[in-house]
Amino acid sequence: MLLPIDTDNIRKLSDRVLMTCARINRIINGLIGFSRKSEEDPYLVVNLRQLVKDSLDLIEPHYRNNRVSLQVEPVDDALAIRCKPVEISQVLINLLTNALDAAKNQQDKWVCLQVAATETSVTLAVVDSGHGIPNEIAEQIFTPFFTTKPRGSGTGLGLSISQRILQKHGGTIELDRSAPNTTFVIRLPLAQSLRRSA
């Protein structure tokens, strides 16, 4: 005797498969773009929300595997920056990877990406559950090849490269030493001001 077909369940499962395939496609496209050289790339006006989302697609699996909570504040869809998207994504992924490495050794395992904007600039802060960086180390963190990671675990180039990329984009990166948790702050000029209708 044939059992009745549950068409609603089949439709739900099919939708889930399609969503998973679309996510895999986004990740693969992101990896392809991220792995190629960007020196010849033009500067483009890009939607900041989409750029952040594309970067998170690449890093979120590592957070899940390490059981670290990643909290992301909403990014206003009106925000846009003029940049080489691959390079800014590289900076975000580097900071989020460093934050993950720090948070996974804490009792409370979390990282937060905070976003704020003025009429002319946007600030992205990567905050992890660590309790800051000692002053003697903080003085050196942007020095090429300086690292506190075990031998073979890091090159010591991530922060210095990130700083150089942001300088090319008219932006900055700094460690907020006054914050209670380890906090790196990126500032970039907006290509499009944040406008809200009255």
Q: Same domain, yes or no, for 124 and 181?
A: yes
Secondary structure of residue 11 in the 3-state scheme:
helix
Beta strands per DSSP E along 79-152: 80-83, 110-117, 121-128
pTM: predicted TM-score of the whole model, two decimal places: 0.74
Q: Is 13 exposed, middle or buried (0-12, 13-18, 19+ CB in 10 A)?
A: exposed
**Is residue 195 one of the residues assigned to a domain?**
no
**Is residue 61 one of the residues assigned to a domain?**
yes
Position 66, amino acid: N
Q: Same domain, yes or no, for 23 and 103?
A: no
Query: Is 90 exceeded by the pLDDT of residue 29?
Result: no
Number of domains forming the structure of the chain? 2
Q: What is the mean pLDDT of residues 3-7?
A: 68
pLDDT in tens, 159-169: 989 999 999 99
The domain that contains 159 carries what CATH number?
3.30.565.10
**Is residue 106 one of the residues assigned to a domain?**
yes
Q: Same domain, yes or no, for 87 and 16?
A: no
pLDDT value, residue 17? 66
Query: Is 90 exceeded by the pLDDT of residue 79?
Result: yes
Instruction: Tell me which residue range forms the domain holding 50.
Output: 37-189
Q: Which residues are CB-neighbours of 56 under 8 A, at least 6 positions away? A: 70, 72, 96
C-alpha distances in angstroms, 62 versus 38, 40, 53?
A: 24, 30, 15
Smallest CA-to-CA distance from 184 within 136, 119, 148, 133 is with 133
**Is residue 197 one of the residues assigned to a domain?**
no
